[in-house]
Amino acid sequence: MQFRRLGNSGLKVSALGLGTNAFGKRADQETSMQIIHHALDNGINFIDTANIYAQSESERIIGLALAGKRHEVVLATKAGLVRGPGPNERGSSRYHLQQELENSLRRLKTDYVDLYQIHTFDPDTPLEETLRALDDMVRSGKVRYIGASNYAAWELMKALGISERLGLNRFVSTQISYSLADRTPEQELVPLCLDQGVGIIPYFPLAGGILTGKYSSPDAAPPGSRADTDPNFSRFLSEDKIALGRRVEQLAGEAGCSPSALSLAWLIQQPVVSTVIVGATRVEQVAANLMSLSVNMAPDHLKEMDSISESFRYGAPFALYRLP
């Protein structure tokens, strides 16, 4: 396994991380625990979840799976998106974050979270309030590092500036949609993160399965695919993305690997990326994703992949989660 620093921090994370959005939803408890154990056995030390995944079932299952193994894991969770109908059941106020952290710790069966992330920017809460609350959490020992997610470049830079001015712990990472099918972070966020020492943690690194080559058209969802099990996912399917998936599949054949391994290898090689979180609903998917670490990408293939995905640097992001 390859390990990198999480941004400019001293924390080392596996180049490939485990995303757990499907745990308790598209993967049952037993399967989810098997996936976690297989990931740990193969060197993955970064596990990412959130308080809202599968209505909190993801955190609960992770807590069960990590019994006796907590010390092996860099455990990351998030808060800030909508938890309920109440006025304080969303956002990044001190009130909401402290409540959600305690709930997450209880479900995860741990005394601390290694990386606590704000799930999205909250326009209704002053950043000073959010950052002071996070700093208090770090000083209390319940959180070790803090990160952002779904922040625009200006929002992230404002947060970093406030932390610098007030002498607070600063964000060491940010999560964003980033893949061959979504290179929009390269316009502003990537240069900012390289300059400020913030590690990027891509989500949707395979564009929800589009970059595996499994989709042949926007209207044909293979059995068991995300578009099949989650009809809302069809909004992400478009002719240009599916054409990209087919081109990646062709290049993967030339490189002697799977399309998913090639797509992940391209992302892992980006200098701003600290770890790539990839979800799984079967143990076999974890094993397949691990193959990306052994892909020897020739310079010509890297250049070709940059070329075929150049158009995806522009336009709207593949995915972006914000407060309503």
Catalytic residues: 53
Query: Length of the chain in residues, anyone?
Result: 324
Question: Angle 46-48-54 (CA atoms, 0-180°, nearest 5)?
Answer: 150
> Helix/strand/coil (H, E, C) string of the chain?
CCEEECCCCCCEEECEEEECCCECCCECHHHHHHHHHHHHHCCCCEEECCCCHHHHHHHHHHHHHCCCCHHHCEEEEEECCCCCCCCCCCCCCHHHHHHHHHHHHHHHCCCCEEEEEECCCCCCCCHHHHHHHHHHHHHHCCEEEEEEECCCHHHHHHHHHHHHHHCCCCCCEEEEECECCECHHHCCHHHHHHHHCCEEEEECCCHHHHHHCCCCECCECCCCCHHHHCHHHHHHCCHHHHHHHHHHHHHHHHHCCCHHHHHHHHHHCCCCECCEEEECCCHHHHHHHHHHHHCCCCHHHHHHHHHHCHHHHCCCCCCCCCCC
Closest CA to 119 of 93, 71, 80: 80
Can you say whether residue 265 is alpha, beta or left, with left for phi > 0 and alpha for psi between -120 and 50 degrees? alpha
The tokens describing 219, both together, are 């209207």
- Written as one letter, the residue type at 319 is A
CA dist 54 and 35 (Å) reads 16
